[in-house]
Amino acid sequence: MSGGLVKRSLILSGHRTSVALEPEFWAALERMARARGLGLPALIAGIDAARDPARPLASALRVAALHAAQARADLGGTPHAC
């Protein structure tokens, strides 16, 4: 991992919020969004809407990125190429 957390601000469900993630997770989420034809805010809004309210948003985003990497690996891709 290359360093500290990167904080980004966005609006979810009409409320401004900030999320801090490692740069590698932001890169993985951006790749997920591109693969799905979405903007990053739309991808995050979808993950937010589907998450268990007991799970923090940052955790849900990391888990989503991990699941995407695992799915790529299962399809013969390289999991580290997030």
- In whole angstroms, what is the distance from residue 75 CA to residue 70 CA? 9
Helix spans in the chain (H): 23-35, 40-50, 57-74
Q: For the residues 10-32, what does the mean pLDDT come to?
A: 96
One-letter amino acid of 20: A
As beta bridge partners, residue 21 has 6
- What is the pairing mode between strands 6-12 and 15-21? antiparallel
Cβ-contact 6, 40 below 8 angstroms: no
Q: Using one digit for the tens of pLDDT, what is the confidence trace for 34-67?
A: 999 999 999 999 999 999 999 999 999 999 999 9
Per-residue model confidence (pLDDT) at position 79: 52
Confidence of residue 75 (pLDDT cuts 50, 70, 90): confident
